[in-house]
Amino acid sequence: MLLGIVRRIVSMAVTLFGVAVVIFVVLRLLPGNAVTASLGVSSGLLTHAQLAALNHFYGVGEPAVQQFFSWLGSTLTGNLGISLASREPVSTLVGAALPITLELALASMVLGILIGVGFGMIGALHPGRWQDDVGQGVSVVGLAIPSFVIGTGLVTFLSSVFHYFPASQGYVSLLQNPWLNIQQIFFPALTLSLGIGAAIMNTTRAAMLEVSGLNFARTARGKGVSTRVLVWRHLFLNALVPVVTMSGIQLGYLLGGTVIVEQIFVLPGLGRLLVTSINNRDFPVVQTITLIFATGFVVVNMLVDVLYTIIDPRTRR
What's 296's domain CATH number?
Answer: 1.10.3720.10
Q: How many domains does the chain have?
A: 2
Q: Is 76 exposed, middle or buried (CB count within 10 Å of its CB: 0-12, 13-18, 19+)? A: exposed
- Amino acid 165: pLDDT: 82
Task: Flag whether pLDDT at 78 surpasses 60.
Answer: yes
Residue 274 lies in a domain: yes
Residues 297 and 186 reside in one and the same domain: yes
Residues 157 and 219 reside in one and the same domain: yes
Task: Flag whether pLDDT at 39 surpasses 70.
Answer: no
Residue 43 lies in a domain: yes
Cα–Cα distance between 165 and 266 in angstroms, integer? 10
Residues 217 and 304 reside in one and the same domain: yes
- Amino acid 312: pLDDT: 67
Task: Flag whether pLDDT at 317 surpasses 70.
Answer: no
Residues 252 and 114 reside in one and the same domain: yes
Q: What percentage of the chain carries pLDDT values higher than 70? A: 88
Q: For 43-61, what is the mean pLDDT?
A: 67
Cα–Cα distance between 154 and 257 in angstroms, integer? 17
Q: To the nearest whole number, what is the mean pLDDT of the chain?
A: 81
Q: For 251-259, what is the mean pLDDT?
A: 76
Residues 156 and 290 reside in one and the same domain: yes
Residue 50 lies in a domain: yes
- Amino acid 58: pLDDT: 64
Q: For 11-16, what is the mean pLDDT?
A: 84
Residues 116 and 186 reside in one and the same domain: yes
Q: For 244-270, what is the mean pLDDT?
A: 82
Residue-number span of the structural domain to which 13 is assigned:
2-76
Q: For 201-210, what is the mean pLDDT?
A: 87
Residues 219 and 120 reside in one and the same domain: yes
Residues 262 and 220 reside in one and the same domain: yes
pTM: 0.81
pLDDT band at 43 (very low <50, low <70, confident <90, very high): low
Residue 85 lies in a domain: no
Q: Which of 21, 50, 76 is the last residue of a domain?
A: 76
